[in-house]
Structure 1
Amino acid sequence: MANTGKIVLLGAGGAAFTVSLFQDLVAEGGFSGCTLTLVDTNKESLDRMAGLARHLFAAADAGIAVEATTDRRAALDGAGFVVNAAAIDRNRLWRQDFAVPKKHGIRHTLGENGGPGGLFFTLRTMPLVFDFARDIEEICPGAQFINLSNPESRLVLGLSKYTRVKSLGLCHGIFLARWFICQILGIPEPEVELWGAGLNHFQWVMHLREKASGRDLYPLLREKEAAHDPSFTPLARTLFRSFGLWPTCSDDHTGEYLAYGWEGGEEGFDFDGDEKGREGFKTLIDEVVAKTKPIPEDWFKHSWGERAVQVIGGILHNRHTFIESGVVYNRGAIPNLPGDLAVEVPVVADAAGVHPVSLGPLPEAAAKLLMQQASVQQIAVEAAVHGSKDLALQALLLDPVINSTDAAKAILDELWELNKPYIRPCI
């Protein structure tokens, strides 16, 4: 079935990803005649973002029609692309995912994609995403599903294994790694190209090159890193020196997967700063929609690191678009990781869909480090898909972040009760 020019954004009331999508639709171009349908359960937030979309698209003469609805099934009718940015009570529950394990003696970094927090993000989010998938299978089975919500690897693995939906996860983590590398190299980011392979938030940079010449920049990185400020991204640099490749994407994200990850910092996410920033951003949007403030010039330019619109354009217009990083079902894209796993590798998007680009096998030791987390993710997905507390305990006891069986059981009981309204079998 050919993809249509109807794009549905689920969780459109969240400002950050939504504004980035608007920016990229304007800056990328080629979407005149398309329809963007915004969906959210929060009517106030939905109306705010719909008002911004109409104002921005009109100012840019983008030719994109905007719809807004709280009825997800109605929105999916005729969709060619479904983008998911939804999260369940994100900061309130995430705070508990971080605080409860700390109370029981677990040293961890973020509590979002790995460790106990990653497990409970998976348990509560998987049923919601499976609801989306079942509706897509019924209403718009040819649509490309693009997931922006965490935990990316686990959601894509569950969808790929248990549904017929064409799933792709997108993350800007590869560009965070480029930022860290470029601080050491002293080279502007646009002049550096890097390709990675591995897991979401834990890829190994396989190729690091000067974009214009193709020159390998790894020798220069090794030279400059040795003399760089030792307090700068210490965990990534320890792994770099030990395994020979730079890991993505940042110490706090990568650290979620490692028993010693807390050595890169264990302060957790800045929830208060995030909420303050979101309120300020909402105020700016309201002022722009009311036309008491002009549209910021940046909103007519590409966003930083997001690639959903480029994927959509590549498929819609058969552009054979290279995307630096996408989360896909492995099936051999990384030969020395399990086929039954979601991995992050470069992809190409065209009218036939999304195609992983294999960079070959990872160095053996690097692959073995990822294998620890592969097993955790596989069992966590089974726990979420089956709504099983027994499997959830197994996932915790497999996780290298867990240092005590008693702590694992106490964390499981406490966080299970907090998340019980959202946990249910998906199949």
Structure 2
Amino acid sequence: MTDAPGSTPAGTVPPTPHRSDGPAGTTRPARASGEVKIAFVGAGSVVFTQGLLADLLAFPELARARITLHDIDPERLATAEAAARHIASVRGAAPKITAHLDRRAALEDADFVINTVQVGMDEATRTDFAVPARYGLRQTIGDTLGIGGIFRALRTFPLLRALGEDIAEVCPDAWLLNYTNPMAMNVMYLTRATGLRRVVGLCHSVYWTVHDLCELLGVPFEEVSYLAAGVNHQAWLLRWERAGRSLYPLLDEAIAKDPQLRRRVRVDMYRRLGHYPTETSEHSSEYVPWYLRHDSEVARLRLPVGAYLDIVQENTAAYEKTRAALAAGTPLPVEGTTEYAPQIIHSIVTGTPRTVYGNVPNRGLVDNLPASAVVEVPCLVDSLGVQPTRVGALPPQCAALNRTYVSTGDLVVRAATEGDPRHIRHAAMIDPATAAALPVERIWDLCDDLVRAHADLLPPELRAVLGH
């Protein structure tokens, strides 16, 4: 289910923009819409690229934009270009579309850069699951926190540094809209290691959490207001109201009536913490020590260990289906999304105000999370750029969990920025799910094995095998 392309997430609480030194700054005057240049880095993520393009080209003001596509895989790049031209035709748009194996050529003079790169692709993801599984460490998704998130970040950071250097040289005023996970670690690294300030991490978890809760209660999504804040995949639904009245009591009633609802990690966390977390149960189980370690909890909460491997297979199948359809001249239907990047681009270009959720440095936005954190908060977007909202203090129990999450990510970023391989092990020791499952010597052994497995993708200074 989707809203009209680019529509404001329905019912979000109007934010009070925090206009000090967040990522917004002063945006240069928007170009004429036909001159706007949007670069896709990692365009070979064809299915995702298609959805973003379908939304972008549905806006009349962006119908003649310059679209540049970059990927290092020639076949995937050619497929992305064919898909883009098909979408433009279906939308009745006339963008200027070019494809580039050279990243700098794609970025030259861009106004917006959308990053969807996955370094190492499917093989690296399978390694992230296979090696920890030999140690008895369970993961469900493994792309945000945990041992999988740690190593996904470490192999992504070199690409982010190079991308940041290119942007600083060939399109220094561009907004970098990042979709690549692990979101919080990547945005933290970008802002520390590259000096870029117009960086926003984008994720749909807040939107879909509220959407699906409304569907559960039979409440029209368009009639609710909501406010969430925290960290990516572990933000908290702080307010959720219809006509000024909280909807949480209705959720409590639904949970009390349905024992199957109580077999969800998110519901279990909500009942104990008082605020609903904004990511799926599969994801949420990996950010805390209480569930995946215990057979009884895996069974009670129906946790699909290794679920992301099925998603990887499905994504590959979707790409192959798209490629075959384009080659046969029978392209698949053009479907839009509710992703934020097209909305942000449209708002900055046209001045149309919207509220979206963004992942940005915590410069006075959340009082009881570290200043070094990357937080997920509502942001006003208009011709001035992306302006994050100051939320204040989170409920203390929610902030406490967020701080553990932030500490793990901070150590991963420090490993890369300081060139200290010990910090990889420190991050794994602090990570809640890893620490719950393994004694400390096994954690170091696991990190050594993963360093060996991913060595070619890691910065040279982080390839050391340390032992105990």
TM-score higher than 0.5: yes
2:459 alignment partner in structure 1:
424
SS at match of 1:421: helix
2:325 alignment partner in structure 1:
287
Equivalent pair of 1:123/1:387 in contact (CA under 8 Å): no
- Structure 2 gaps of 5+ residues are 1-27, 462-468
1:317 alignment partner in structure 2:
350
SS at match of 1:45: helix
RMSD: 2.2
SS at match of 2:142: coil
Q: CA deviation at 1:101?
A: 1.8
**Corresponding position: 1:271 with 2:309:** yes
Equivalent pair of 1:347/1:356 in contact (CA under 8 Å): yes
Task: Give me the identity figure in percent.
Answer: 33
Q: CA deviation at 1:285?
A: 4.7
Q: Which one of the candidate residues 303, 315, 336 is aligned to 1:302?
A: 336
1:384 alignment partner in structure 2:
416
Q: CA deviation at 1:277?
A: 4.7
With over 3 angstroms needed to count, the CA separation of the structure-2 counterparts of 1:72 and 1:379, relative to structure 1, is same
Q: CA deviation at 1:93?
A: 1.2
Q: CA deviation at 1:352?
A: 2.1
CA offsets 1:151-175 (integer angstroms, 9 cap, x no match): 0000101112232221100011113
Q: CA deviation at 1:2?
A: 4.1
Give 1:329-348 correspondences, 5 Å limit: 329-348=361-380
Q: Which one of the candidate residues 249, 259, 264 is aligned to 2:289?
A: 259
Structure 2 CA distance for aligned equivalents of residues 188 and 123 of structure 1: 42
2:18 alignment partner in structure 1:
none
Q: Which one of the candidate residues 77, 91, 99 is aligned to 2:122?
A: 91
Q: Which one of the candidate residues 224, 238, 241 is aligned to 2:268?
A: 238
CA offsets 1:346-388 (integer angstroms, 9 cap, x no match): 1112222211112321111111121111111111111133343
2:381 alignment partner in structure 1:
349
Residue type at the aligned position of 2:441: D
1:161 alignment partner in structure 2:
192
Structure 1 CA distance for aligned equivalents of residues 417 and 176 of structure 2: 19
Structure 1 CA distance for aligned equivalents of residues 247 and 178 of structure 2: 32
Q: Which one of the candidate residues 359, 367, 376 is aligned to 1:327?
A: 359
Give 1:15-34 correspondences, 5 Å limit: 15-34=46-65
Q: CA deviation at 1:423?
A: 1.5
Give 1:18-417 correspondences, 5 Å limit: 18-165=49-196, 166-210=198-242, 213-230=243-260, 234-262=264-292, 263=297, 264=301, 265-272=303-310, 274-288=312-326, 290-293=328-331, 295-296=332-333, 299=334, 302-303=336-337, 305-323=338-356, 325-401=357-433, 402=435, 403-417=438-452
Structure 1 CA distance for aligned equivalents of residues 227 and 352 of structure 2: 20
With over 3 angstroms needed to count, the CA separation of the structure-2 counterparts of 1:173 and 1:238, relative to structure 1, is same
Equivalent pair of 1:104/1:410 in contact (CA under 8 Å): no
Structure 1 CA distance for aligned equivalents of residues 244 and 67 of structure 2: 38
Worse overlay, 82-91 or 258-267: 258-267
Equivalent pair of 2:142/2:308 in contact (CA under 8 Å): no
Q: CA deviation at 1:178?
A: 2.5
- Structure 1 gaps of 5+ residues are none
Worse overlay, 214-223 or 282-291: 282-291
Residue type at the aligned position of 1:322: T
Q: CA deviation at 1:396?
A: 1.1
Q: CA deviation at 1:276?
A: 4.2
Worse overlay, 11-20 or 219-228: 219-228
Residue type at the aligned position of 1:238: D
SS at match of 1:75: helix
Worse overlay, 167-176 or 380-389: 380-389
Residue type at the aligned position of 1:400: P
2:5 alignment partner in structure 1:
none
Aligned residues: 419
SS at match of 2:391: coil
Structure 2 CA distance for aligned equivalents of residues 80 and 155 of structure 1: 21
Equivalent pair of 2:230/2:377 in contact (CA under 8 Å): yes
Residue type at the aligned position of 1:37: T
Q: CA deviation at 1:286?
A: 3.8
With over 3 angstroms needed to count, the CA separation of the structure-2 counterparts of 1:178 and 1:229, relative to structure 1, is farther
CA offsets 1:308-356 (integer angstroms, 9 cap, x no match): 1101111122222211x11111111111111111011111122222111
Equivalent pair of 2:233/2:278 in contact (CA under 8 Å): yes
Structure 2 CA distance for aligned equivalents of residues 134 and 248 of structure 1: 33
